[in-house]
């Protein structure tokens, strides 16, 4: 018996379910409240608010928008900045083509018990221009939020790197020389601290056994073996730290003929 082919409604419902998987109402509310405010503060943190003193309200908004535009676009790489500028220009040209001039539109004014309709010259746009403009604003908001998140993460990583450097002990280290055939194995603590279901860590003794057994392997094969054995030891247990291994081996001296 042949399986029934999914209908268009079933496919649409499946696509919608997959597209909105994990979506919560609180996330959408936070997107337009906290996230938007934080993104604005991130790009506007270097704007001098005293420069707006004495300006009218609309001039303050225009100057703030101009400074925010520069603060955002200058954070992009030159190539991406060019691409973003071209996209803005094309959108502007599209909106100009959709503009049909000004026309008198009746606006009801309540001066008494009977409303009076007054014709006001308002901009007249082609059908769909409003939806297109709202979509344009939402896409720019999305780009603004993404760039702010990435730059904030980059700043946090730089701060963390500075903290790590500050925590390194300021002491002299002994130097060592690798003789031909010697191998140096460097690893993160996530390798030796990886635990199995019983809570037993892999420990340095487990790492030493692997190195002793596979000492004749190439550095690449040894590193792969270490990671594979650690993952087998942990099985399905969640790894709380990264697994990083660096193996360096000095080549043997070439034999003289």
- Give the end-to-end CA distance of the chain in Å, rounded to a whole number: 76
**Which residues neighbour 72 within 8 Å (Cβ) at sequence distance 6 or greater?**
43, 144, 147
Q: What span, in angstroms and rounded, lies between the C-alpha atoms of 88 and 69?
A: 12
The residue to which tokens 């535009």 are assigned = 69
Q: Which of the pair, 220 or 109, is modelled with greater confidence?
A: 220
The position carrying tokens 């340095």 is 204
- pLDDT digit string, tens, across residues 223-256: 999 999 998 888 877 777 788 999 998 887 666 5
Quote the pLDDT of residue 169.
67
What integer best gives the mean pLDDT of the chain?
85
Q: Strand 99-109 to strand 183-187: parallel, antiparallel, or no bridges (unpaired)?
A: unpaired
State the pLDDT confidence band at 34, using cuts at 50, 70 and 90: confident
What Å distances lie between residue 67 and 45, 62, 109, 233, CA to CA? 11, 9, 39, 55
- Half-sphere exposure (CA, 13 Å, Cβ side) for 246? 3
CA distance linking residue 220 with residue 185, whole number of Å: 11
- The rounded distance, in Å, linking the Cα atoms of 243 and 99 is 58
Over residues 74-128, the pLDDT tens digits come to 888 899 999 999 999 999 999 999 998 888 777 777 766 777 777 778 888 899 9
> Measuring CA to CA, which residue among 250, 190, 249, 247 is closest to residue 222?
247
Full-prediction pTM beyond 0.95? no
pLDDT tens-place string over residues 45-83: 888 878 778 888 888 888 888 888 998 998 888 999 999
pLDDT at 2: 61
E strands, the chain, are 99-109, 116-125, 183-187, 245-249
Render pLDDT for 160-213 as a digit per residue (tens, 0 to 9): 787 777 776 666 667 778 888 888 999 988 899 888 888 888 999 999 999 999
**pLDDT attached to residue 173:** 66
Q: How far is CA 205 from CA 193, 234, 237, in A?
A: 11, 15, 20
């Amino acid at each position: 018996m042949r399986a029934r082919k999914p209908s268009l409604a079933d496919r649409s419902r499946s696509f919608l379910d997959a597209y909105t998987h994990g979506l919560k109402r609180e996330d959408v509310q936070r997107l337009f409240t906290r996230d938007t405010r934080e993104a604005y503060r991130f790009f506007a943190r270097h704007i001098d608010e005293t420069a707006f003193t004495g300006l009218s309200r609309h001039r303050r908004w225009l100057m703030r928008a101009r400074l925010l535009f520069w603060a955002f676009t200058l954070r992009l790489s030159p190539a991406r900045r060019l691409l973003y500028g071209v996209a803005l220009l094309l959108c502007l040209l599209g909106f100009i083509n959709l503009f049909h001039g000004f026309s008198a539109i009746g606006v009801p004014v309540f001066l008494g018990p009977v409303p009076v309709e007054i014709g006001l010259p308002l901009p007249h746009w082609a059908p769909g221009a409003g939806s297109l403009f709202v979509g344009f604003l939402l896409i720019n908001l999305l780009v603004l939020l993404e760039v702010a998140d990435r730059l904030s993460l980059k700043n946090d990583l730089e701060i963390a790197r500075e903290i790590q450097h500050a925590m390194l002990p300021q002491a002299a280290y002994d130097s060592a020389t690798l003789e031909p055939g010697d191998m140096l194995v460097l690893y993160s603590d996530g390798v030796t601290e990886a635990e199995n279901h019983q809570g037993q860590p892999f420990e340095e003794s487990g790492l030493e056994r692997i190195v002793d057994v596979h000492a004749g392997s190439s550095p690449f094969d040894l590193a792969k073996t270490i990671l594979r054995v650690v993952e087998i030891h942990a099985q399905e247990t969640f790894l709380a730290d990264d697994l990083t291994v660096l193996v360096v081996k000095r080549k043997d001296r070439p034999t003289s003929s």
